[in-house]
Amino acid sequence: MTRVVLVGPPGAGKGTQAVALSERLGVPHISTGELFRAHVSEQTPLGQEAKRYLNSGDLVPDSVTNEMVRERLAEEDTEAGFLLDGFPRNTKQADVLGQLLAEQDSGLDAVIELQVPEDVLVERLLARGRDDDTEEVIRRRQQVYRSETAPLLEYYADILLAVNGVGDIDEISSRVLDALKTRS
């Protein structure tokens, strides 16, 4: 059973690693971004609510995100485990995740922190070439991560595994898998 949360600042490679690791571990990769897109495209009530916030550039409220994750974790393919990417993004969401898993008589096996120096993160994000990826915006996102999401590192200190997130995809995946072996 593998129930893992991936955390790290924007540009750390969480999404890339989640895809690679979900294949190697045989568990679904659950991304809040993908949940938002699926609900919006299917025009579910949650999707319509999320769309209002996404269209105005605001964060989708915890209540909407929490309910999407609750529904997704209730699906059959998560029985053997999952990799969460983008959730929880704060300690309130972590509390909700803990409650959801307790209702299923389970808990998290590990939280993987992908550690990457800020200058490398900025360089990676600038290389994507997106219009909204200016150095100023990227550095602001890093600050938001430090203030809102980084407290999860202390919250999950007892199951936190720090992994060097610099290198090629396979090299980093191997480090994550080696770290997970220390938890089993």
Q: Reply yes or no on whether the pLDDT at 183 is more than 90.
A: no
pLDDT at 1: 65
- If one counts every other C-beta atom within 10 angstroms of the C-beta of residue 36, the result is 21
Q: Please write the tens of the pLDDT for every residue from 95-147.
A: 999 999 999 899 999 999 999 999 999 999 999 888 878 899 889 889 989 99
**Do residues 68 and 121 touch, judged by C-beta distance below 8 A?**
no
CB 113 within 8 A of CB 104: no
Q: Which two tokens stand for residue 180?
A: 């997970």
CB count in 10 Å sphere of residue 108: 18
Domain that holds residue 160: 2-181
Residue corresponding to tokens 């991304």: 31
Tell me the CATH number at 170: 3.40.50.300
Mean pLDDT in residue range 51-74: 91
In this prediction, what percent of the chain has a pLDDT beyond 90?
84
Domain count, the chain: 1
The rounded distance, in Å, linking the Cα atoms of 17 and 165 is: 9
Measured over the CA atoms of residue 110, residue 91, residue 135 and residue 15, the dihedral's sign is positive
Rounded to an integer, the average pLDDT of 20-43 is 94
Query: Cα(182)–Cα(158) distance, rounded to whole angstroms?
Result: 13
- Whether the per-residue pLDDT at 68 is higher than 70: the answer is yes
Q: In the structure encoding, which two tokens stand for residue 121, read together?
A: 């993160």
Distance CA 68, CA 131 (A): 29
Give the separation between CA 31 and CA 19, rounded to whole angstroms.
10
The reported pLDDT for the residue numbered 178 is 96
Q: pLDDT tens digits for 154-182?
A: 999 999 999 999 999 999 999 999 999 99
